[in-house]
């Protein structure tokens, strides 16, 4: 019995079959010899190609209600659609953030005029304490004094909030 599956690129009978796991689901892609060579389907970089093809055929699982952007779009572009997308895809992006960033929580500035909530203030105190310890260790007393004042200021805003 001959193989009746067709190449995903040109529609010729497929002879190269690649299994790939996307979002916990097994996706099988099929190519003819020529396309597999040309597109490098037997190469580790094939996963990129499989991603693109799988993304084209897959049904979106998550869609941003505010801009219509979906997880399929994200796989194609690697960029989000709008600020509200972070709410929709935030959890799904957790693994990626852990890979490309220090930790998945913001330590740092907030827009001028925005009153930070208690959790944010505590996170900032935490990061200022870490900086203070590093400054003391490095005998950078100028920074240490500045940080000590900043921690005192942050702690007083936690108490008043």
Using CB under 8 A as the criterion, which residues of the chain lie in contact with another protein when the complex forms? 66-67, 69, 73, 77-84, 86-87, 90, 93, 96-97, 100-114, 116-117, 119-120, 124, 127-128, 130-131, 134, 143
CB of 105 to another protein, least distance (A): 6
Within 9-152, strands assigned E span 16-22, 25-31
In terms of Cβ atoms closer than 10 Å to its own Cβ (0-12, 13-18, 19+), residue 74 is buried
- Angstrom distance (rounded) from CA 98 to CA 142: 33
30 CB neighbour count, 10 Å cutoff: 19
Distance of alpha carbon 58 from its chain centroid, rounded? 19
Give the residue with the Cβ less far from another protein, 32 or 131.
Answer: 131
Give the residue with the Cβ less far from another protein, 11 or 95.
Answer: 95
CB of 69 to another protein, least distance (A): 6
Give the residue with the Cβ less far from another protein, 40 or 83.
Answer: 83
Give the residue with the Cβ less far from another protein, 21 or 138.
Answer: 138
């Amino acid at each position: 019995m001959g193989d009746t599956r067709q190449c995903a690129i040109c529609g010729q009978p497929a002879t190269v079959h690649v299994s790939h796991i996307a979002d916990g689901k097994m996706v099988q892609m099929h190519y003819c010899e020529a396309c597999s060579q040309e597109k490098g389907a037997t190469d580790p970089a094939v996963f990129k190609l499989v991603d693109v093809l799988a993304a084209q055929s897959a049904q979106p699982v998550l869609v941003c209600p505010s801009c219509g952007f979906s997880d399929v779009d994200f796989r194609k572009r690697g960029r989000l659609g709008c600020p509200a997308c972070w709410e929709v895809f935030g959890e799904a992006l957790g693994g990626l953030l852990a890979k490309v960033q220090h930790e998945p929580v913001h330590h740092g500035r907030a827009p001028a005029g925005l009153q930070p909530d208690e959790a944010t203030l505590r996170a900032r105190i935490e990061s200022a304490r870490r900086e203070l310890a590093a400054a003391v260790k490095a005998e950078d007393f100028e920074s240490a004094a500045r940080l000590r004042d900043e921690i005192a200021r942050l702690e007083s805003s936690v108490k008043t909030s």
